[in-house]
Structure 1
């Protein structure tokens, strides 16, 4: 089906639903039920038969990469495949969510989302926040207002502080990341393509941050100051305090201090900076007002829909609205009712992101195979009828490489609980260090030349990945004398699945042809598997 026709069909469906006045599914449905209801209904409407669910090994790998940031060991895959309990998938997801690695993966993922393009990090703050399952509205509040003297909030204000020197960047990225709206195109003129966004919106949003300033280790806020801008007609205008809903907010009158008062204020701030103390808080804070407005019922749809869309995009490889920062009337969601239902559910359950993640991951939409074996044309990604292949983040890929190289004898089925988590965290740390030079993937990701050259020629590839050691995979493989056992063990350990007969035969033939340099041949096999697309992507 041509893309334009698909889009037209979706628009017709959306308008027909509105015309009928259909209500959302009842609130007592589970998240996975709602996801599969709405996704399945659209597929059925368009006559699309979705791909079957992924097999156990594939689904376990996908889920562990998303929830823990690492693939499973061979022993974990085999144990999961052998389990016969009908509820094993739900039990697996619950176990992964309850483990410390989930908070670490959430922290890393949201740090990459919120701090990309800055030189700062929120990872420590976010990891602790997710460890206690802090609600997203509370995290949002702390990102904008975080107090450095509060141990639980320490570091959160880096979201604002890291962008403080460029308030246009702060305005654009706060709007985009927290509310799903990129208003930057309305800075110089009303948005040329989207009627929703005017200059008043851009400068209205900028006004919430314009009084904030950096003072040493702290972010302060002045009680006065207005944003002025020029319209396309050349008219100078003072910006009103305006949220994305177009609602304008009154605020207490602020008197501009005279020169003497400004001098005293400057001296006080310099002393506080020297003493490493926070500036005095104003009686009225515009940033605090933004938090209040964003969480109010009449404006909340921006806040809740944006985070739902971000989480969906991360877990399924495509948002319900794409691009994720273009939520406006001219860019309808692929599944409007589903986005509304999930946003309503998130609000009703205290902005619990772990609960949202659990529900999405347990849905059939999430579990679809990424292989399209039907003779019909592969469906559009926006129908979620077949799994979308996603590039790994640098820390996921680095960790995947480290997990692939563990000696399977040291990571058996008996390794579990805190002992497994301790070893897993060691692999994560090593993987993060190894992957720190890899690119953080965005849309239309392609493996970079730097990455390819690094894996081909860099010294650390030979010293870290291809080192023969009694405690790693290569140490085990080079001691094996049976070619079939080498091939089978290598594929199981690196890919986390049983090899096909064709793969075994190819690897055996390769070893037999290089019997005079067997150890080098084993290294080449391991290198080829490690650098394959099956290792580089979450499928």
Structure 2
């Protein structure tokens, strides 16, 4: 079934409900074309991409995977005049939208599950996207929050830089404003207007913030102190006795109040209407902040058992000291007035840097190139290529209430997003067309999208073989305790018998994996982590102040039990029969960043530690080898008897041509040409066995450039 057709700009937006008042995507194209004309651009634009191309492109960008066969058929049955905008609205409401765009935010904010509070911060972002939290509110909370890592998820941003005022000044300005003011930390900016004094004034907003780790509970949190660490003049400049706390100063100018601020009036009207719609009597009262005194006695005893030269009474005494020192009235994490003020300044609707920076990031993510490049360098010396287009995007974003979905919808229903690629011309002309957004730049899928698209095409989100149909003999490892005697004999206590790495969910059936398995990791349950981090903790203060003899004896017994478990282990291997029927989790639900050798990292996911480091989309030999030889690709290629293609290969309804056409649609979202169909039949026939031949064909299609790059 061929998917063809062009949707005119005039038919793109025709929805009832709240989105009826959303900005028209076609207005973006009109403004951009006018700017091109004013710049003297003479090139003709590329045509609008056909429906099959749009379908695949928007699925990848909005929900992070290619469409399934059922979804292709559903789209084809939609009314042609409105199918694109209807599809966009459907995908914006899809649960995977939050999964996919959580990765966008996590890259931008450099959130890491292995950092203090990082897992909860990522889960918080996911929930914020699900709930439609406005971007300015999200930014305010990340900039200003104080509290315990995990229990207050937003502190993950501040803890990501260890609450270092200098690092936070650079990160906050570059991430939220697109301004690289960190270059002025040691001297005035060599290429921009920002001075060292500007940088220190910004850093002063973070000067009283501290990262604290409690001795008793090992709990990490952020709080505020009275004395700032940001002093002026800088160390080594001038008389040291003259160094004084630097007063905070916001160096970025707001837009002037004129007719152009109508977008602010629309924002105010929108929020006033929403406020009136709320029932004031149902507003939640803020809960009193109580810091974490104890998470468990086990954690403390564990630490002592691992080698601390202290007895149980020492542990108890420290617990009592921590309990006495707790500030119950306000909690251990006092709020930051300075960072709250900074958050308001950064997110002020008159601060054009804030809205422009985010609009430019989202545009670049969806279109393949920013209106300002690099996307985090909005300086006077790096003017936008299409300033009026960027202003329109930013203003409409603000007027929408800083709504991510409105901004995404506006861009993906616009003409520039829907244009075709340009092929077969000289590089100079191609660059000019793409710079003018008259052709869509070629871009590769994100690593997470490639992963999930392989899983989707190979039907690996569910089991594709019947139970017991793929029994396989493998070597499994068992871990047993090593006896404490000097003889070194092995005790009979079995510790681990399943042969799978304990970090992996059992669903992934890793016992069948070979040395080429670098695709799996821990599943990340957003809801569970956020729920756990926000549970109210029962803190028995009086109990810790005066502990009974019975409690001290219980602690001593716990410690002895831990010490008895400090034994050595050895691994043993034995043959076992398993059902080789794997299924895979979504890469958007994996802990991130992944391990350095993981599929996601090989295909460009960064470690999210360096400011300004973006994903490397360049191809590499290692990527090719992972697709050619990796377990994920091979499992996706295998034909399972529960897959839709199976009855087209085996049984009374077998039809090789239909099977090949189905495989093309499932992997490339299009029909094969006559030549491709004939070549595919040859490939299948050469394998000898039909199922093996179809596996070869699927493996070839998964490894072609067309699969990895957006159409």
Alignment of 1:337-416 (within 5 A): 337-372=388-423, 377-378=429-430, 379-406=432-459
Instruction: Answer yes or no: is 1:314 the counterpart of 2:365.
Output: yes
Alignment of 1:21-170 (within 5 A): 30-44=23-37, 45-115=40-110, 119=115, 120-121=118-119, 122-146=121-145, 154-164=152-162, 166-170=164-168
What is the alpha-carbon distance in structure 2 between the residues aligned to residue 202 and residue 437 of structure 1? Answer: 33
> Residue 408 of structure 1 contacts residue 493 of structure 1 at CA under 8 Å; is this kept in 2?
no
What is the DSSP-based 3-state SS (H/G/I as helix, E as strand, rest coil) of the residue aligned with 1:454?
Answer: helix
> Residue 147 of structure 2 contacts residue 223 of structure 2 at CA under 8 Å; is this kept in 1?
no
What is the alpha-carbon distance in structure 1 between the residues aligned to residue 451 and residue 616 of structure 2? Answer: 21
Count of residue pairs brought into register by the alignment: 473
Tell me which structure has the larger Cα radius of gyration. Answer: 2
1:85, CA displacement in angstroms?
Answer: 3.6
What is the DSSP-based 3-state SS (H/G/I as helix, E as strand, rest coil) of the residue aligned with 1:242?
Answer: coil
**Residue number in structure 2 paired with 1:495:** 668
Alignment of 1:232-381 (within 5 A): 234-235=237-238, 239-245=246-252, 278-281=331-334, 285-298=337-350, 300-372=351-423, 377-378=429-430, 379-381=432-434
Measured against aligned partners, the alpha-carbon deviations of 1:133-179 in whole angstroms (never above 9, x if no partner) come to 1111110111123366899x941221111212544333222211111
> Residue 474 of structure 1 contacts residue 523 of structure 1 at CA under 8 Å; is this kept in 2?
no
Measured against aligned partners, the alpha-carbon deviations of 1:400-457 in whole angstroms (never above 9, x if no partner) come to 011111299999xxxxxxxxxxxxxx97626755854443354662133433332233
Structure 2: which 5+ runs fail to align?
1-20, 213-218, 255-319, 465-582, 591-597, 606-613
Measured against aligned partners, the alpha-carbon deviations of 1:206-251 in whole angstroms (never above 9, x if no partner) come to 222222112334211123214136669943665442223179xxxx
CA separation of 1:146 and 1:188: change in aligned 2, threshold 3 A: closer
Normalised TM-score (structure 1): 0.78
CA separation of 1:273 and 1:439: change in aligned 2, threshold 3 A: farther
CA separation of 1:438 and 1:308: change in aligned 2, threshold 3 A: same
CA separation of 1:224 and 1:232: change in aligned 2, threshold 3 A: closer
Normalised TM-score (structure 2): 0.60
What is the alpha-carbon distance in structure 2 between the residues aligned to residue 477 and residue 112 of structure 1? Answer: 42
1:111, CA displacement in angstroms?
Answer: 1.7
CA separation of 1:327 and 1:318: change in aligned 2, threshold 3 A: same
> Residue 125 of structure 1 contacts residue 154 of structure 1 at CA under 8 Å; is this kept in 2?
no
What is the DSSP-based 3-state SS (H/G/I as helix, E as strand, rest coil) of the residue aligned with 2:206?
Answer: coil
What is the alpha-carbon distance in structure 1 between the residues aligned to residue 179 and residue 321 of structure 2? Answer: 38
Instruction: Answer yes or no: is 1:190 the counterpart of 2:347.
Output: no
1:125, CA displacement in angstroms?
Answer: 0.8
> Residue 205 of structure 1 contacts residue 243 of structure 1 at CA under 8 Å; is this kept in 2?
yes
**Residue number in structure 2 paired with 1:466:** 637
What is the alpha-carbon distance in structure 2 between the residues aligned to residue 168 and residue 187 of structure 1? Answer: 8
What is the DSSP-based 3-state SS (H/G/I as helix, E as strand, rest coil) of the residue aligned with 2:67?
Answer: coil
What is the alpha-carbon distance in structure 1 between the residues aligned to residue 127 and residue 356 of structure 2? Answer: 24
Measured against aligned partners, the alpha-carbon deviations of 1:257-302 in whole angstroms (never above 9, x if no partner) come to xxxxxxxxxx998966899x942525x621111112213355x111
What is the alpha-carbon distance in structure 2 between the residues aligned to residue 190 and residue 29 of structure 1? Answer: 43
CA separation of 1:95 and 1:246: change in aligned 2, threshold 3 A: closer
What is the DSSP-based 3-state SS (H/G/I as helix, E as strand, rest coil) of the residue aligned with 2:211?
Answer: strand
1:30, CA displacement in angstroms?
Answer: 2.3
What is the alpha-carbon distance in structure 1 between the residues aligned to residue 457 and residue 698 of structure 2? Answer: 9
What is the alpha-carbon distance in structure 1 between the residues aligned to residue 357 and residue 374 of structure 2? Answer: 11
Larger deviation, residues 34-43 vs 115-124: 115-124
Alignment of 1:161-180 (within 5 A): 161-164=159-162, 166-180=164-178
What is the DSSP-based 3-state SS (H/G/I as helix, E as strand, rest coil) of the residue aligned with 1:41?
Answer: helix
> Residue 219 of structure 1 contacts residue 278 of structure 1 at CA under 8 Å; is this kept in 2?
no
1:86, CA displacement in angstroms?
Answer: 0.9
CA separation of 1:208 and 1:448: change in aligned 2, threshold 3 A: farther
What is the alpha-carbon distance in structure 1 between the residues aligned to residue 680 and residue 185 of structure 2? Answer: 59
